[in-house]
Amino acid sequence: MNHVPAFGVGTFRLQGQVVVDSVRKALEVGYRAIDTAQIYGNEAEVGQAIREAAIPREQLFITTKIWVENLSSSKLIPSLQDSLRKLGTEQVDLTLIHWPAFQNVTLEEAMTALAEAKALGLTRLIGVSNFNIDLTQQAIAAVGKSEIATNQIELSPYLQNPKLVSFLQSQQIDVTSYMTLAYGKVLGEPVIAQIAQKHQATPAQVALAWALQRGFAVIPSSTKRENLASNLLAQNLQLTDSEMAEMARLERNGREVNPEGLAPLWD
């Protein structure tokens, strides 16, 4: 599998037993892709949930992300090895550069170290996160287009990022959408509620189905088993062309995540 699975479970902001329970429930209801990051401080708990679920490792797709302090050639591989120890696996499926904040490190050095981690078998695929078009082009120049499995970016019906999305799709780089529900804000959107009613679906399912139909991978998180199970059903929901057009009109550049000192200049 050289592509990112279309549906995974996110673990951002989940800590301790909460993340153990969330990931375990997700695996029980059918998720097989799990997204974590060094900075989330929960890799060990994600690893614990995976062990407790006792699902064969080859059926899982585990993603982690390298934090900005670990992007130098001397730190990236040791930091990933530390992540692997916490996760209890010899290899993750995907490793991303979390934010393009290169403190005393060039983008080329970080990408080269990431490619080396792949060559060493520490990760099956590599990619980037929160990169704009210019930075993605630099990453391609550093390691080659075929090496970059995905760019994980904030996308929701309120933030559709058309320039960046069409650039990535033109380069055959998978788009992974995080914050697809915009911290729950899109769940109160009347247009989405109307579409949901027509399909006897939930607003969350409609927003996730929209992203899937745009060709994005999604990684929603929840601590509730019923929401985790319900979100998965978005894969069975087919929106009509006119509904997709209605969703397209919801764009309002509604960015939720834009940390100073980490985020690039967005396209």
The catalytic position among 40, 158, 178, 183 is 40
| C-alpha span between 61 and 239 (Å, rounded) | 27
* 173, 150 contact by CB (below 8 A): yes
Q: Is residue 40 annotated as a catalytic residue, yes or no?
A: yes
The residues facing 87 across adjacent strands are none
Q: Cite the beta strand spans of the chain per DSSP E.
A: 9-10, 33-35, 61-66, 92-97, 123-129, 148-154, 174-178, 217-218
Concatenating the DSSP letter of every residue in 73-91 gives TTTHHHHHHHHHHHHT-S-
Token pair of 11, please?
């673990």
| Residue among 63, 59, 65 nearest 31 (CA) | 59
Count the residues in the chain: 267
Helices (H) and strands (E) in the chain, counts: 10, 8
| Residues labelled catalytic | 40
